[in-house]
Amino acid sequence: MGRLAVAAAVAAWAIPIAALVDSIVPDPYMDEIFHVPQAQHYCRGDFLTWDPMITTPPGLYYISLAYLASLFPGAWAIKAAEAFDPLCTTALLRSTNVIMAMVCGVLVHDLLLRIKPGIGKTKATAYAILVALYPVHWFFTFLYYTDVASLAAVLAMYLSCLKKRFWVSALFGALSILFRQTNVIWMIFFAANGAIEYVQDLPLGDCLSDENSELTDKSRTKESDRDNKVSALGLRRRRANHPISKRGVVSGSTKLHTSFTEELFDFAFKLWNSKCKVLITFAPFAIVLVVFVAFIIWNGGIVLGAKEAHVVSPHFAQLLYFGLVSATAFLPWHFTPGRVSDLFYWCRKNKTFSSLAMLTALGLSFVAVHLFSIAHPYLLADNRHYTFYIWRKVIQAHWMMKYILIPLYVYSWFSVINILGKSQPRVWVVSFVFSVALVLVPAPLVEFRYYTIPLVILVLNSPVIGHGKLLVLGSAYVAVDLFTLAMFLFRPFHWGHETGTQRFMW
């Protein structure tokens, strides 16, 4: 069991299903009508033509060119570009994501072994296969969209950062931004937490080295030097005995004895006193970030095309939707009697804090739903998506429904945060929530595809569950996958005034 098993398992279903999809839906569909022709321009060597309806950078097209060149090296070598152009069929371009799905599975496997060293290869393999079956990710394996390749680049960036290969991680960060601009948020998230991890691993003397270097001027007297050494030694002892000098996380019923502000102070202290090393080590991420900011200024915004349909909006309800979707997608972690009991016990143990947090969360959620719940025109008009039916049949079924769901939103987020707090420091948890908000809140359109990356990061950092629960969840994923595929392939229908055949999708 291991990487090869994961890749083989993904290939075993992805290749035949991709062939089935290509045989029944051979022409570009939905957003493929933009992506496929654009990739074909690149195949012809035309890198200057750009479809103004495409909102994301050309990373997917570059990856497809490299992939097709590896399949047909002779055609690429002789390349009369006209000879290479016929190879860029819809089917072959779609197969890029089949390869990327296999890469995603292997990366999830390796990340689990890195984050949870005791998980074992067998369980890591099972988890990786489960993630590969996650319905939204699984479905877009067979279409020419940016989502699967974007996830692969983000996971590669995450793994490289955990291995402390920061230059490599920054390169994958730049690549991930070429697939989807919001991946810059995940690059900053990984880099920031990587910097905290980096200074945590430094000896305390190294953390103080910058401060001490200012006190070693040759003009100082020997007595002054001696006093400084004594002061530094005392500071080292105090810091070593400080409860937050040892990295602590919430584990089981164990509770951190330090406040969140003390934890922040500890990290800030170490980062500041190791600032030179941190700046040099994490400079690659800063370079990518500077280039990205320059791009936004030059482009006049974060999206490339169709800017009028992707205006940044304060869509705070989107954050609530993510909480419920993520908790539902990983139901064995969040909606079980044991999980409810754990949260109830935590609330009883921390009555004052939990009551205040609950009331605050309910109040903010009510404001978000009432004032910042956006119905994008695409959501209201396109009946080829699950979100269209969820919005109309659930959220808009009655005017009270969107308020009735608020307790579920709050419970889901409390469960997510509580679970993450068992394996990660509070700074990591807060920065994760903040990153999710930065990615989702500005997006006016409700799209489950936008949730995939934070969902995978969430499952990578959640406690390990048993084989039985994994099997049940995997079976549920397979059932949803097959139902969606059947709807997509065998239930064509007419949409609006168009005469062409439409198909159902996520």
- In this predicted structure, which of 273-277, 363-367, 372-376, 423-427 has the lowest mean pLDDT? 372-376
- In this predicted structure, which of 50-59, 136-145, 238-247 has the lowest mean pLDDT? 238-247
**Which tokens sit at 297?**
């200024």
Instruction: Indicate if the pLDDT at residue 250 is higher than 90.
Output: no
Span 191-202, pLDDT tens digits = 999 999 888 877
Can you list the alpha helix ranges (DSSP code H) found in 251-350? 260-273, 275-281, 283-299, 317-329, 331-334, 337-349
- DSSP letter at 453? H
Percent of the chain with pLDDT over 70: 81
The whole-number average pLDDT for the span 207-212 is: 49
For helices 90-115 and 121-133, what crossing angle results, to 10°? 140
Instruction: Indicate if the pLDDT at residue 231 is higher than 60.
Output: no
What is residue 84's predicted lDDT score, i.e. its pLDDT? 60
Instruction: Indicate if the pLDDT at residue 235 is higher than 70.
Output: no
CA distance 177 to 221: 54
CA distance 2 to 421: 28
Dihedral over alpha carbons 269, 274, 279, 281 (to 10 degrees): -120
Instruction: Indicate if the pLDDT at residue 211 is higher than 70.
Output: no
What is residue 1's predicted lDDT score, i.e. its pLDDT? 65
Span 349-362, pLDDT tens digits = 777 877 888 899 99
CA distance 175 to 189: 16
What's the pTM? 0.84
Residue 173: count other Cβ atoms within 10 Å of its Cβ.
Answer: 29
Backbone torsions φ then ψ of 34, nearest 5 degrees: -95, -45
Mean pLDDT of the chain: 82
The whole-number average pLDDT for the span 89-109 is: 95
Residue 446 binned pLDDT confidence (cut-offs 50, 70, 90): confident
Instruction: Indicate if the pLDDT at residue 171 is higher than 50.
Output: yes
How is the chain split into domains, by residue range? 1-202+269-311+466-505, 312-463
Span 138-151, pLDDT tens digits = 999 999 999 999 99
Give the distance, in angstroms, between the CA of residue 92 and the centroid of all CA atoms in the same chain.
27
Give the position of tokens 């068992």.
422
Instruction: Indicate if the pLDDT at residue 215 is higher than 80.
Output: no
